[in-house]
Structure 1
Amino acid sequence: MKLLIKSVRIVDKKSPANGQVRDILIEDGKIKEIGENLSSNDIEVKDLSGLCVSAGWVDMRVGSRDPGFEHKEDLYSVSAAAAHGGFTEIVLLPNTNPVVHSKDTLNYIRQSAAGGVVTLHPAAAVTKKAEGVDFTEMIDLHHAGAIAFTDGEHAVQSADLLLKTILYLRPLNALLMNRPEEAQLSLYGQMHEGITSTLTGMKGIPSLAEEMMLTRDLKLLEYALEKSMYDTSDPVLHISLLSTAIGVEIVREAKQKGLPISCDVAVHQLVFEDSDLINFDTNLKVNPPFRSQADQEALRQGLADGTIDAIVSDHNPQDEESKNLEFDHADFGITGLETVFSLAVMHSGLSLETIVEKITTAPRAILRLPEISIEQGAIANLTFFDPEADWTFGKSYSKSKNTPFLGQQLKGKVRGVINNGKQEWYA
C-alpha cells in the first residue's frame, strides 16, 4: 500500500508533530515521511483537511460470540463494527461455545481474522468453561498468544482461585482481568438497587456487590505480592467495568499505595443513570447496571484524574429473542463498538487528547502491546476522525442491534482506519 494523506491534524502526545497539521506518506505498511506539502508520483492521495489522526484505537472488552453463537455476532461482523467505530485492535472475551480455554479455540480466533484491518486479541479463560472451578492450562495458553486471562462476563468468585491465578501469572508477566461482582449479592438482580428499583418492583444489584469484591481482589493481590515486587511498569490485575463511586475511591487509594493495578469503565456508564430504566427499555439492561448520578460523576472524575485508565465498549451483542422480552427475562448487554468515541466526546468531559489516550496509549500499556506513535518509521496503525462532526447512527454493522443509540444524533465521527497494510474509509 502506498498512500499520501494530506492536511490531517495529528493527535498523539508521543508524536513530535502532536497538534500540527501535516501530510503523512505511507509505504509498505509504515510511515515513510511526515511533513508539509509532501508530494509523490504515481501514488494514491487522500485530502483529509479538517480531520484528525491518532494511533489506532484499542478496545479492551468485546464480546464476539464466535464460536458457538454466530447468530448474535461472528468474527467478521465484530471486526466490521470495530473498524467503523475506529478500533484497529480489540480484545475478545472468552465467553463463547466452546469457551476459549484451549489452544485450538484460541488459534481459531487468531487465524480467522489474520491480516484484516482489525487485529483480534483473544483473552483466555482462567477456569475451564469459565465456571470458576478448575484452572485452564494458563501457561500453554499464554505461550499460544492469549493477550490476558479472565472469565469475562463472570467474576472469579473463589478467593483461593484468584490468589493462585495471580501467583501463576506473575512470573509470566501475564495480565489478569476480573470484573468485581459478588455473585450472591447480585443474584437475580435486574438493575441498580435504589429508588428506581423500588418504584419498579425490580430486584436490585447493590453497589456493595462491586465494592466487596473489589476490596477482596486488592487484598489478595497485596497478599500475593511482596512490597519489593510492587515496582513494576505493568499492572498485574486489571479491574474491568467500574461503576460505583466507592469503587473509584478504593482503586484510587490502592494506586496511591503502589499496587500494580489498572481499571476501565464502559462508556455507556457515562450516559445513563438508573432512573432512565423507569420505562423498562431492555436495551438499557446492562451489568454492571447504570447507577446513580453521584456514581456517574465519580466515574468522570476518576477518568479525569487518571484513577480510571481506559474507556471500553463492553460490546455485548444479543439477538432479538434475547432482548424483546419482559425486562426481568431479557439478557444483559449493549452493543457499543461503533459509538464509543462519540459517547466519550459527548459525555466524558475529557479533552480530545485525553479521550484518545484512554483508547490508545493506556490500553496498549496495560495489555503489553507495542507502543505506537505517529512518527517516521513507525507502523501505520491509524484512526482518522472528525471530533466536531454531527451524524446519525442509522446503521449498525454488528449482527445484533441491542443498542439504545440507533437513530440518534451523535457528535464525533470516525472517517477511516489503516492497519495491517489495509485501509477503510467511511463517509
Structure 2
Amino acid sequence: MSATLFKNATIVDPTSEHHLKKRDVLIEKGRIKKIANTISNPKAKEIKLKNLHISQGWFDSSVCFGEPGYEDRETIHNGLKTAASSGFTAIALNGLTLPVVDSKSGIQYIKAKSAGNAVNVYPVGALTVQALGKDLAELFDMKSEGAVSFYDYQLPIENANLLKIALQYTQNFKGLVQSFPMDPSIARKGLVNEEINSTKLGLRGIPALSEELQITRDLYLLEYTGGSLHIPTISTKKSVQLIKDAKKKGLDVSCSVSINNLCLTDDELHSFDTNFKLLPPLRTEKDVKALLKGLKEGIIDGVTSNHDPRIIEDKITEFDHAAFGSIGLESCFGALNQATNLETTVNALNGLKNRFGIETHSITEGSKADLTLFNPDGVMQYSEEHSMATSKNAAMLGKTLKGNVYGIVNNNKLVLND
C-alpha cells in the first residue's frame, strides 16, 4: 500500500483525541503518519469519499465459512473478501468444517489459508473432540497455536461436569470457553420461538426457557469454578438480566447478540421463509427491546453477524427440513446502524476485541492503521445484488439498511468497494 491520504474524514473513536472531529489522515507503511485539519502531501494517493467516517477496524466474534470440507458453502478466500467489503478487519472463525477444527493441525490450516490477507483471522477451536460433547479437545495445543476461544458452534454442552472441567482447565493458560445457550432437553426438536406465532403457524417451538435454564446453569458453574466464559448470541429479555446480575457479582462472563435477534422478530415467520429459521430463533418485540437496551448499557458486550452460509438445497425445502442459519457479514453494519445510534453501532462492532485477546489500535499518530471506512447516512434495500458471498441465505434480504461501507485499511493493505 502506497502512502494514502484520506481527506475530510470524521473520526469515530472514543479513545482518540480526534473523536467525532473532521480530519485529514495520512497513512504510510501501514501506520498513521499524521492527523490534522489539513494535510498536503503530493506523493500520497488522495482519497475523497462522500461523508467519510473512519473508526477502529471492526471485529466479528462469530463467523463460519465452510473450508475445509464445505467449500460449496464458502471458501476462506472469498469469505475474507466478503468480510473486508463488509468493514471487518478481524474475524473469529468457527470450526464448522469437515473435519472439525479440534486440534493444533486444524488451527495451523486456518492460519495458513488466511495468511497475508487484509482481514485478520482468529481461529476458534472446538471445545470437544469432533464437537461431539464427550471429551475435551486439545485445548492447550490449540491455544498455543493461536486459537482465541473454544466453542462447539451452536451445540449445547449437555454434560455440566464437562463444562466445569473445561472452565477449570483453561484457567492455566487463560483460555476463553464458549457455551451455546440452549438446553436441548427443553428445546428438543423445536424450529422457532415458542410463542403465539409458533402456535398460529403450527411450528414446533423452542421456549425462551431453554436458553435461560442453560445460562443459569452455566453461570452457577462459572461461580463455582472461576475461569472465563463467553455466552454467544443471547436472545431473550431474561437472558440480559441474568448476565447483568452475573456481572454485578464479579463473574468473568461476557456475551454477544446476533444482528438477526437484535433487528428481527418472530413476526417474520408468517412468510415461512426458511432464511428466518435461525439459532437462536427470532424472539418477540419485547426481547428485541431488551437486547437493544442491554447493548446500549454495556451488559451485552458486542454484536456478531453470526455469519453461517448454507447451500441452496439446505434452504429451498420444507421449513421442517431446512437448515438453521443465515449469512450476515454484509448486512450487519447497515442493520445495526438502522436499529441504534452511530456510536453504539461502532462500539458494538469493537466491543469483544479485548475479550478475545485481539489488540486494539487507537486512531492516533504512530498507531497501526487498522481502520474501517464508511458512510453512516443514506438508506438502501439489501438484495442479492449487494452480496459477494457464495451462499445467499440472508435473513436481511429485502430489509432497509442505513449507511454503507467503503472498505478497510489493515496490514498495510487498502480494500475499497467498487
TM-score, normalised relative to structure 1? 0.95
The question of whether the paired residues in 2 share the 8 Å contact of 1:6 and 1:49 is answered with no
Q: Secondary structure at the match of 1:401?
A: coil
Shift of 1:386: 0.5
1:191-214 C-alpha deviation (Å, 9 max, x unpaired): 001111111111100111100100
Post-superposition CA distance 1:128-149 (Å, at most 9, x none)? 1101011111111110110111
Mapped to 2, the partners of 1:282 and 1:163 lie a distance apart of 36
Give the distance between the partners of 1:183 and 1:406, measured in 2 at CA.
30
One-letter identity of the residue aligned with 1:356:
V
The answer on whether the counterparts of 2:229 and 2:253 sit within 8 Å (CA) in structure 1 is: yes
Across the two proteins, how many residue pairs are aligned to each other? Answer: 415
| C-alpha distance in structure 2 between counterparts of 1:193 and 1:86, whole Å | 35
Query: Residues of 1 paired with 2:209 and 2:175: CA distance?
Result: 29
CA shift digits 1:296-350 (9 cap, x unpaired) = 1111111111110100000010111000000010000110000111111112x3x
Secondary structure, counterpart of 1:327 in structure 2: coil
Q: In the alignment, which of 398, 401, 413 is matched to residue 410 of structure 1?
A: 401
- Counterpart CA distance in 2 for 1:114 and 1:264 is 27
Letter in 1 for 2:416: W
* Structure 2 partner of 1:379: 368
Q: Offset of 1:407 from its aligned partner? A: 4.8
Q: 5 Å matches for 1:14-53?
A: 14-53=15-54
Contact 1:197–1:204, Cα closer than 8 Å, also in 2: yes
Please, which moves more after superposition, 235-244 or 127-136?
235-244
Task: Look up the match of 2:57.
Answer: 56
Whole-angstrom distance in 2 between the partners of 1:43 and 1:247: 50
TM-score (norm 2): 0.97
Paired letter, 2:344:
T
1:337 paired with 2:358, answer: no
Map 1:98-247 → 2, pairs under 5 A? 98-225=99-226, 236-247=228-239
Give 1:73 deviation, angstroms: 0.8
Contact 1:99 1:129 in 2 (8 A): yes
Q: Give distance in 1, aligned partners of 2:380 and 2:415.
A: 18
1:95–1:153 contact (8 Å) kept in structure 2: no
For residues 358 and 237 of structure 1, the distance between their equivalents in structure 2, rounded to whole angstroms, comes to 19
Task: Give the C-alpha shift of residue 275 in structure 1.
Answer: 2.2
Deviations 1:178-203 (A, max 9, x none): 21111121121110011111111111
Q: Relative to 1, partners in 2 of residues 1:195 and 1:408: Cα closer, same or farther, differing over 3 Å? A: closer
> What does residue range 351-390 of structure 1 map to in structure 2 within 5 Å?
351-360=341-350, 362-390=351-379
Counterpart-to-counterpart distance in 2, 1:386 and 1:356: 12
Alignment of 1:274-353 (within 5 A): 274-347=266-339, 349=340, 351-353=341-343
- Partner SS state of residue 150, structure 2: coil
Alpha-carbon distance between aligned partners in 1 of 2:34 and 2:27, rounded to the nearest angstrom: 7
Shift of 1:48: 3.0
**What is the distance in 1 between the residues matched to 2:265 and 2:50?**
38
| Contact 1:283 1:323 (C-alpha < 8 Å) held by counterparts | yes
SS in 2 for 1:329: coil
Offset, 1:392: 3.9
Unaligned runs of 5+ in 2: none
Range with greater deviation from structure 2 (105-114 or 319-328) = 105-114
The whole-number CA distance in structure 1 between the counterparts of 2:403 and 2:142 is: 38
The residue number in structure 2 matching 1:268 is: 260
Classify the secondary structure of the residue corresponding to 1:384.
strand
RMSD of Structure 2 on Structure 1 (CA) = 1.2
1:228 paired residue number = none
Deviations 1:12-70 (A, max 9, x none): 00011111111111111111111122122322111235210001000000111111000
CA contact (8 A) 1:99 1:130 kept: yes
List structure 1 segments (4+ residues) > 6 angstroms apart after TM superposition: none
Q: Contact (CA 8 Å) 2:372, 2:409: kept in 1 or not?
A: yes
1:83-123 deviation line (CA, Å, top 9, x unaligned)? 12110100111121010011112111111111111111110
Counterparts of 1:309 and 1:105, CA distance in 2: 28
Determine if the alignment matches structure 1 residue 90 to structure 2 residue 82.
no
| Cα distance, 1:371 vs structure 2 | 2.0
Listed as ranges, the gaps of 5+ residues in structure 1 are 226-234
Q: Conserved in 2, the CA contact under 8 Å of 1:95 and 1:130? A: no
| Aligned AA (1:293) | E
